[in-house]
Structures are given as C-alpha cells and as structure tokens.
C-alpha cells in the first residue's frame, strides 16, 4: 500500500500511472539518436565553414603573392609570399610552364590532405 493525495492505494492501482521501463529506454534511445543526428549535422556544417574559410585564406594569400596580378604565380613570387607553395613548386607545376595557378595549388592541396 502507498499513501498519496488520493489516500491509501495499492501498487497495482498505481501501476498504470508508472512509466514502463521499456518505454523509458525507448525514449532514451530516441533522444540519443536525435542528439547524434544533431551533432553529425553540426560537424558537417562546421566542416563546410572550415573549408570555405581555408579556401578564402588560400585565395587571399595567392592574390597577395601574385605581384603581377595575372593569375600566375612564379617561383620567385611563391618564395616571397607562399613559402610552402615554393617548397613544392615543381610538384604543383605539372605542366612545367614556370608558374602555378590557384587551381593547380587547390588541386595539390586536395590531393595531399588525405
């Protein structure tokens, strides 16, 4: 017997009011799934923002290093403004034209990030 605001009641009478254990576990699993989906979505969005940010930084550095503003970065320009590009200049300049473009640098970075 249990005393509550309705007076003395047996556990059997109160049982339908109790939350079954399996329902509680289901509720907990449902919340965990929603939380996981929310976290995954937040991670995906943050990755996109980080990638866009890195893209903007790369473009800004390329523009600053490209003294002639012709969209072509020579080895000398790379040494002055983008030392990592200069260190890998021959690998990035796959066409062996003596300059690299922003697109070539982006491709090189994408290949070597993995």
Task: Give the side-chain half-sphere CA count within 13 A for 72.
Answer: 8
* Euclidean distance between the first and the last CA atom of the chain, given in angstroms as a whole number: 66
Domain span at residue 51 reads 2-112
Two tokens, residue 37: 């989906």
pLDDT for 15-57, tens place per residue?
A: 555 555 555 555 567 777 777 787 777 777 666 555 678 888 8
pTM: 0.55
Instruction: Provide the pLDDT for residue 1.
Output: 54
Query: Hey, which bits of 33-94 come out as E strands?
Result: 73-74
- Kindly report the CATH number assigned to the domain that includes residue 24: 1.10.238
Residue appearing with tokens 């030392």: 83
Contact 74, 86 (CB under 8 A): no
The predicted pLDDT at position 25 comes to 59
Give yes or no for residue 102 having a pLDDT over 80: yes
36-40, 56-60, 67-71: the lowest-pLDDT one: 36-40
Instruction: Tally the domains of the chain.
Output: 1
Match 């080895």 to its residue by tokens.
75
> DSSP string of 13-50?
HHGGGSPPHHHHHHHHHHHHHHHHHHHHHHHHHHHHHH
Q: Tell me what the pLDDT averaged over the chain comes to.
A: 79
Confidence band, pLDDT 50/70/90 cuts, at residue 68: very high
Helix (H) or strand (E) segment spanning residue 59: helix 21-65
């Amino acid at each position: 017997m249990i005393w509550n605001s309705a007076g003395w009641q047996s556990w059997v009478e109160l049982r339908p009011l109790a939350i079954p254990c399996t329902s509680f576990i289901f509720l907990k699993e449902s919340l965990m799934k929603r939380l996981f989906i929310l976290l995954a979505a937040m991670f995906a969005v943050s990755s996109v923002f980080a990638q866009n940010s890195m893209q903007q930084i790369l473009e800004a550095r390329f523009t600053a290093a490209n003294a002639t503003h012709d969209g072509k970065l020579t080895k000398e320009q790379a040494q002055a403004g983008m030392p990592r590009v200069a260190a890998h200049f021959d690998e990035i300049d796959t066409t062996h034209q003596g300059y690299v473009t922003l697109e070539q640098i982006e491709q090189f970075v994408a290949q070597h990030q993995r």
